[in-house]
Amino acid sequence: MIYDIWANGHRYNGWNANGDLKAYPSDTPAWYTTNAGGGPLHPSDANQPQIVCAKGGSNANISAPVAAGADVRLRWWMVDQAWPFVKLEDRGWINSSTYQEGYWATDDLIANNGTWTVRIPPKLSPGEYVLRHEIIALHVAFTSTGPYSLDGAEFYPQCVSLKVEGSGTKAIIGGVDAKTLYKGDEPGLTLNIHTAPDHSGYVMPGPPVWTDAN
């Protein structure tokens, strides 16, 4: 779950689904979910509505204003829509240092107190957008039995509503339905990370990064 959101110099509370589900605040851009405990989704969820923005996900009450080209920082708590999504960035295996499985993007996340910064494309057209941020855990990815398996990689999607400002002219054209991002049998979702620290051949799952992301 995302606990804090920083945009345009302002901090917003995230949404804590561990509390009273009827106490969803009116002043957070974090999407409502019913995912108490922050548990993962599995490959069997990859073509279901919950893969979009977590279990019971629904729109936030507000959108956080942010300028095109600015950064949005998110702090994670560590432990049926069909919009077109484009990927702004992805990060997986980084190097073979530190741990027997190698050093991954989640290790950077942990080292930065659970925070991750996302750069909003500087040429993005003004308007209302949903920022979907996701952690994919690979510690049991090797247990996958095929597409939409009950076992395998674990998905932790969360969404934040943003109101992008500025004079950009790049519209999002194309994109993919979040329910078609993965099947769960992709090489990047089925590897055994425990066999060696060097995963330099790792292939990021999902679509390529949007050409106008930078």
pLDDT at 35 over 70: yes
Question: What pLDDT, in 10s, does the model give residues 46-66?
Answer: 999 999 999 999 999 999 999
Average pLDDT, the chain: 94
With beta carbons less than 8 A apart as the criterion, state whether 46 and 184 touch.
yes
pLDDT band at 84 (very low <50, low <70, confident <90, very high): confident
Give the model's confidence band at 80: pLDDT under 50 very low, under 70 low, under 90 confident, else very high.
very low
Q: What is the pLDDT of residues 118-130, one digit of tens each?
A: 999 999 999 999 9
pLDDT of residue 19: 85
Q: How far is CA 126 from the centre of its chain?
A: 22
6 pLDDT more than 60 = yes
Q: Where do the domains of the chain lie, and which CATH numbers do they carry?
A: 2-189 (2.70.50.70)
Task: DSSP letter for 105, please.
Answer: H
**HEC-encoded secondary structure of 52-82:** HHCCCCECCCCCEEEECCCEEEEEECCCCCC
What integer is the mean pLDDT of 160-185? 94
pLDDT digits (tens, 9 = 90+) for 128-144: 999 999 999 999 999 99
